[in-house]
A and B are shown apart, each in its own frame.
Chain A
Amino acid sequence: MTTLPARFTDWFAARGWTIHPHQQDMLDRADAPALLLIAPTGGGKTLAGFLPSLVELADGRHAGLHTLYISPLKALAADIRRNLGTPIGDMRLPIRVEDRTGDTSATRKKRQRADPPHILLTTPESLALLLSYEDAPRMFAGLKRVVVDEIHALAESKRGDQLMLALSRLQAIVPDMRRVGLSATVEDPAAIAGFLARHPDPCDILYADPGPDPDIAMLRTEEPPPWAGGGGKYAIPAVLEQVRRHKTALIFHNTRAQAEIFFHELWLANEDALPIGIHHGSLAREQREKVEAAMVRGDLRAIVCTGSLDLGIDWGDVDLVIQVGAPKNVKRLVQRIGRANHRYNAPSKALLVPANRFEIVECVAALEAVKARDLDGDPRGPGPRDVLCQHILIRAAAGPFDAAELYHEVKTTGAYAGLTRAAFDDCLDFVATGGYALRAYDRWQRLVERDGLWQLRDPRAAQRIRMNIGTIQDTDLLKVRMKGRGGQPLGEIEEGFAATLTRGDTFLMGGQVVRYEGLREMTVEVTRRADKAPKIATFMGTKFATSTQLSQRILRMFHQEAWPELPGHTADWLRLQRNRSKLPEAETLLVESFPHAGREHTCVYGFAGRNAMQTLGLLVTQRMERTGLHPMGFVSTDYAVLIWGLDPVTDPAPLFEPGNLREDFETWLAGNAVMKRTFKASAVIAGLIDRNTGGQRKTGRQATFSSDILYDTLLRYDPDHLMMRITREEALKGLVDFGRIEEMLARTAGRVDHVMLDRVTPLAAPLLLEAGRVPVEGAATERLLAEEAEKMLAEAGLADPDPVKPAWRVPF
């Protein structure tokens, strides 16, 4: 056992602390090349990660950078810097700690490269940027340890892949570097360990005591939740009552728009004027910092928030977590619950608020999963190639390199361990020449090979590469600001939403109703005069699909004889469904057909999650169109898709025949909007197009042309291009989620249970109220334009010289 130096034991003693077993373990294993610590929130995880560094640095003999700490959030880096200040200050340790993020000033950044601190706290993007400089080997020369915090969160996205590629580069510069990962509770620790360690090195996993089981329940309200929709407005009185009874509550929502609406409604009902704030990723930094500061001071009784508060920032004395809307994913729920009672060995208290009747079932299933410690998650796929392309560009920006050396370096990254040389060369060729079937850029290659080393043709390109570093996908966002000189920044909205606003329209932003005044140099100007019902701003942000494991649990619940664990109204509803029709089962695909409101409806209970059900809706209506069933539209949720049209479906089996579905999928995928969105994200990451920054858009006379055009061009002239292959891969596992349709097809193995009824069934009824109806495409867009043209010309008092024939209205 490594004994803690006296200075440290004294410090622990002075605070009345003893070292946690896992902190001691970390110290004992400090020499391991890779080490993963799994600990619940509040378990002294950060100190466990830093203790070995503090001990090694305590004698003041180490010069230069010793420990690099990477976190997914800028705010977390700043928070850790403050927290480390306490032991370092108390023990008078000769250790310099600095953070470096996108918010750090340019002069400070420059100085950090020349004279790095002992401990540097940064983000994956800032690290990638540091590695793009020629002087990177000098800066990192003495590096001993890398601590990756919240590694479970990083492992969920491409940011993690980029970080691990950066670590492979670092390890080549300093071969003795040791890696430490700090993770919340996850379903597959070995996968995270393999992600962290240098491949094929082993990585030991240490577990901290997970603490007592959380105190978690569903919030019972007098009023039952509505049949459909999200938001949980009905529960506001009950939520306010809970806020009154607790010190500080975090109220989590699944989307930013829902958080905004809920916050607005909460304040309308907040008669006691309890101090309640809002926090989400689309708010301006100033706004967020204000809320964070108030939270730390203990001034707030509740914060309405989204995933931006998921990560381990110490927000003070939270004693209740409320999750509004079904959690969709048990692992995320557990991590959120951990936000309450940020003290070791105290049970966390959490309440689930189902937003609609179906979510009651989902919440109860999630509660059982939490009790059973049954976490869900999808295995991580191989490292994405768009991120590899960016890594090659970053490597080139740092100076000439040998392709074989870089290939071997990349293969030491767990996610890229299986990368073939041919696949690597594909990426290198793309970066160097564009990789097109038509070799057009011989004179203007981006990288050229000279004397066996690859390098930038034009060294000035390094600047551009650095500007485009990162894998975070930002849709085109516009800043929102109060009108007038020095107007207060409020946050960001999507450009597409801004384009729908006309002067006088109002929308919700940071809990205020604001009035759109105009667009000024790419900034949306608003005033506080609000005299209309607000529109709902659309925010970028993922809509999580209910996990496979949770869906399976719900299907298992349907199998039960009775449901004593459900509230009476919900159990009655399921019983009614069983009497009228059937409850869906895991091994059979339940399809119901019934007429309603003059349309033939078909409801398919696929339980494959939101994205896959949407894809299924598109594919099935496409086949229905071809077989002459005249589908007119559909709506999808996590568990079902409801299709309406002119003709009844009498034989649904061929619609779900795997061969048919896959074939339709191929055709449909190519022209799909999801593909275009996915293409854009990958094209930016791979360096084909520049990140669209506000500054560029402002100076460009014409806005840069849409990436959709590049996609269409490639599809027509070079469909097998690397970017198209990457796009396909990404779309399949992302928004299209065809994988879960495959899973559904395998599970039901051609067994389709068709129930024909004379009216809508209890389980299908909520879908009739669901928002997000999709009209079946084709002539629809043209028809919408025709109608709109007529209407607008009429409104403007302009007669159309050639009148448009009255067209059918697309229903809904």
Chain B
Amino acid sequence: MNGHDFTLAGETLTALGSGALWFGPQRLLCVSDLHLGKSERTARRGGGLLPPYEMTDTLARLEADIAAADPAVVVCLGDSFDDLASAEALPDTVVEWLRRLQAGRSWIWIAGNHDPTPIDLGGTHRDELKVGPLTFRHIADPCARHDISGHYHPKAALNVRGRLISRPCFLHDATRLILPAYGTYTGGLRWTDKALQNLMDGDARAILTGPTPRPFPMPRAACRA
């Protein structure tokens, strides 16, 4: 699989170019911040009528990752739905699609700030999940060690010889990992943002998503002023 291996708490993890995380020894695939139903929620609130194809796109990419990895466990790391109302208003095709993806494997919905309560869409619901030394939760706990979270939608922005390249990215250091947002309509928070700078250690690395995921040192200077 097209991924970049690194270790956290002695476990080998693989950052996939799609933005999903593969935990090989456990055959666990983790995706964060799908934000399904985002376009419907935007319309409901009187915003623009965005192209209503983002669920199809997000699920098609997830289906491809599942087909390639054949995971025993899929963890959706919170904010899987843009809000509870959009989760309840999913079209039947999407509900069936989710059931197909869930068939034959265990599926865990972690609660997020957009979808804090259980939703009747198969799988099990958890606030957090422990696997070996690792804890999966939606929002990083600054005091905890070895947690894997999402929520911040980290994104890298690099100026490489005059070209500005911006990509969603994983951030990790010795104690934590933050996943990029997987959903199609999700924005990003620059890796130089204070929230991310404060959470991550000085030697943190970013793994940029894309055709070949690549590690970069997380820049530290710009925002500490």
Contact = CB atoms under 8 A, between A and B. Distances in A.
A332 to B, nearest CB: 29
A786 interface: yes
A517 B221 CA distance: 10
B150 to A, nearest CB: 11
A717 B54 CA distance: 10
A482 to B, nearest CB: 14
Interface stretch (A27-35, A207-215, A636-644, A704-712): A704-712
A503 B157 CA distance: 16
B160 A784 contact: yes
Nearest to A714: B51
A690 B48 contact: yes
B187 A458 contact: no
B152 interface: yes
Q: Which of B54, B187, B223: most chain A Cβ within 10 A? A: B187
A434 interface: yes
A689 B160 CA distance: 29
Interface residues of A, number: 60
Contacts of B192: 519
A59 interface: no
Given A444-B43, A781-B165, A786-B214, 5 more contacts: A446-B43, A499-B190, A703-B190, A782-B212, A802-B4
Contact of A718 (B46, B53, B217): B53
Contacts of A706: 166, 187
B144 interface: no
B51 A436 contact: yes
A705 B38 CA distance: 11
Interface stretch (A292-300, A367-375, A790-798): A790-798
B64 interface: no
B95 interface: no
Interface string B40-62: 10011011111111101100000
Contacts of B50: 434, 688-689, 710
Nearest to B211: A782
Contacts of B44: 443-444
B215 interface: yes
Nearest to B161: A784
Contacts of A658: none
Contact of A793 (B161, B164, B212, B217): B217
A464 B46 contact: yes
A460 B47 CA distance: 10
Given A460-B46, A518-B225, A441 B52 contact: yes
A438 interface: yes
Contacts of B158: 785, 788
Contacts, number: 148
B44 to A, nearest CB: 5
Interface stretch (B21-29, B104-112, B122-130, B202-210): B202-210
Contact of B217 (A440, A441, A519, A798): A798
B184 A713 contact: yes
Given A702-B189, A786-B214, A438 B53 contact: yes
A789 B221 contact: no
Nearest to A494: B164
A438 B164 contact: no
A700 interface: yes
Interface in A471-526: 496, 499-503, 517-519, 525
B135 interface: no
A807 B190 CA distance: 28
A499 B190 CA distance: 10
B100 interface: no
Interface in A677-714: 687-690, 700-706, 709-710, 713-714
Contact of A785 (B56, B214, B225): B214
Contacts of B181: 702
A519 B188 CA distance: 17
23 contacts: A434-B49, A438-B53, A440-B40, A440-B43, A444-B43, A460-B46, A464-B47, A496-B164, A502-B221, A517-B225, A519-B192, A519-B222, A687-B48, A703-B190, A713-B53, A781-B165, A782-B210, A785-B160, A789-B214, A789-B216, A798-B203, A798-B217, A801-B6
The 6 closest A-B pairs by CB, nearest first: A434-B49, A440-B52, A518-B225, A444-B43, A705-B187, A500-B159
Contacts of A438: 52-53
B12 to A, nearest CB: 11
Interface string A436-458: 10101101111000000000011
B5 interface: yes
Contact of A441 (B43, B153, B160, B211): B43
Interface of B: 4-6, 39-40, 43-44, 46-54, 56-57, 152-153, 157-161, 163-166, 181, 184-190, 192, 203, 205, 208, 210-212, 214-217, 219, 221-223, 225
Contact of B51 (A446, A499, A717, A798): A717
B174 to A, nearest CB: 13
A110 interface: no
B184 A709 contact: yes
Nearest to B208: A785
Contacts of B43: 434, 440-441, 444, 446
A434 B159 contact: no
Contact of A784 (B54, B57, B152, B163): B163
Nearest to A788: B160
A565 interface: no
A800 interface: yes
A702 B188 contact: yes
B133 to A, nearest CB: 20
Contact of B187 (A500, A704, A713): A704
B93 to A, nearest CB: 10
A500 B163 CA distance: 10
A500 B164 contact: yes
A126 interface: no
A242 interface: no
A703 B188 contact: yes
Q: Which of A499, A689, A704: most chain B Cβ within 10 A? A: A499
Given A518-B222, A705-B185, A705-B186, A690 B215 contact: no
Nearest to A440: B52
Contacts of A458: 46
Contacts of A709: 184-185
Given A703-B188, A713-B184, A789 B49 contact: no
A552 interface: no
A690 B40 contact: no
B187 A700 contact: yes
Given A782-B212, A785-B214, A798-B205, A702 B51 contact: no
A500 B188 CA distance: 17
Contacts of B153: 702
B158 to A, nearest CB: 7
Contacts of A518: 222-223, 225
Contact of A502 (B48, B216, B222): B222
B192 to A, nearest CB: 8
Given A702-B152, A798-B217, A713 B46 contact: no
B221 to A, nearest CB: 5
A717 B187 contact: no
A59 B208 CA distance: 73
Contact of A792 (B189, B217, B225): B217
A261 B87 CA distance: 55
A716 interface: yes
B225 A503 contact: yes
Contacts of B53: 436, 438, 713-714, 716-718
Nearest to A784: B160
Nearest to A796: B217
A461 interface: yes
Contacts of A440: 39-40, 43, 52
Contacts of B188: 702-703, 705
Contacts of A460: 46
A582 to B, nearest CB: 34
A436 to B, nearest CB: 6
Contacts of A599: none
